[in-house]
Amino acid sequence: AQSVTQLGSHVSVSEGALVLLRCNYSSSVPPYLFWYVQYPNQGLQLLLKYTSAATLVKGINGFEAEFKKSETSFHLTKPSAHMSDAAEYFCAVRLRQAGTALIFGKGTTLSVSS
Amino acid sequence: AAGVIQSPRHLIKEKRETATLKCYPIPRHDTVYWYQQGPGQDPQFLISFYEKMQSDKGSIPDRFSAQQFSDYHSELNMSSLELGDSALYFCASSFHPGLAGGRSSYEQYFGPGTRLTVT
């Protein structure tokens, strides 16, 4: 069975500081991995995805994530936080099969202070 | 670019009533997924359809049913509504080329959601 664990339900950083949101997964077979962002009262927007090509994946808004099989991790980073990055971030995993569901982590709320 | 369309965006129903949520996937996408997100919760998978056939099933109550039509849009039918059904319901779509080959979208693109309130 697949699962995703996001360490830290709430992360606070200062504007300009490094953002690090942690995600660990468990899966019996190599999965696809995703990070989504959700702003209040809005839908989920895809930030980036890992589909077994490059292990370092670059996404939108300056975010990137590195797939580390040995650590079963897919942590999300951004070198310099902006106020506009404040949102809920979800890590998700799914099997490589048509029509299979995304399994989401519990989410991490990112707060950015000036 | 066209996105996933959901209607209605907001819906208020009373207990024991029925509700129908609609989802129009991105053009050429053949797979539709339904998720339920309670307040402060992560999205929970309900059900999915690939080429109009059910492809995966999650924690969908027996009171709910869904289908995908020939134009690939999907409807989620909810009956005997309960207070606990109040949530944000998301539809997502993706494309899988299958035997025809080509590039899969892998990722699921989400609609803006339908906020259902049961009173």
Higher pLDDT among residues B104 and A6, named by residue: A6
User: Is pLDDT above 80 for B95?
Assistant: yes
Average pLDDT (A57-84) is 95
| Cα–Cα distance for residue pair B53/A40, rounded to 1 Å | 33
Cβ distance of A104 and B42 shorter than 8 Å:
yes
* Residue of chain A whose Cα is closest to the Cα of B114: A43
Q: What does chain A come to in residues?
A: 114
3-state secondary structure of B96: coil
pLDDT in the model for residue A98: 58
Cβ distance of A100 and B108 shorter than 8 Å:
no
Q: Which residue has the tokens 């090509």?
A: A53
DSSP B106: -
User: Is pLDDT above 70 for B98?
Assistant: no
Which residues in chain A have Cβ-Cβ distances shorter than 8 Å to B107? Answer: 32, 34, 46, 49
pLDDT tens per residue across span B30-63: 899 999 999 889 999 999 998 899 988 998 999 9
Judge whether B89 is closer than 8 Å to chain A, CB to CB: no
3-state secondary structure of B41: coil
Take residue A80 and report the two structure tokens written for it: 């310099």
Helices (H), chain A: none
* Residue of chain A whose Cα is closest to the Cα of B49: A99
Residues 6 or more apart whose CB falls under 8 angstroms from that of B61 comprise none
If one counts every other C-beta atom within 10 angstroms of the C-beta of residue A38, the result is: 22
If one counts every other C-beta atom within 10 angstroms of the C-beta of residue A96, the result is: 13
Judge whether A54 is closer than 8 Å to chain B, CB to CB: no
Judge whether A40 is closer than 8 Å to chain B, CB to CB: no
Judge whether A31 is closer than 8 Å to chain B, CB to CB: no
Among B21, B26, B31, B42, the strongest candidate for a mutation testing the A interface, having the largest count of A CBs within 10 A, is B42
Residues 6 or more apart whose CB falls under 8 angstroms from that of A54 comprise none
Helices (H), A22-114: none
pLDDT tens per residue across span A26-57: 877 778 899 999 998 888 999 999 887 788 99
Judge whether B105 is closer than 8 Å to chain A, CB to CB: no
pLDDT in the model for residue B91: 97
Q: Which residue has the tokens 């590039």?
A: B103
Which residues in chain A have Cβ-Cβ distances shorter than 8 Å to B9? Answer: none
Cβ distance of B58 and A101 shorter than 8 Å:
yes
User: Is pLDDT above 80 for A59?
Assistant: yes
3-state secondary structure of B17: coil
| Cα–Cα distance for residue pair A34/A76, rounded to 1 Å | 10
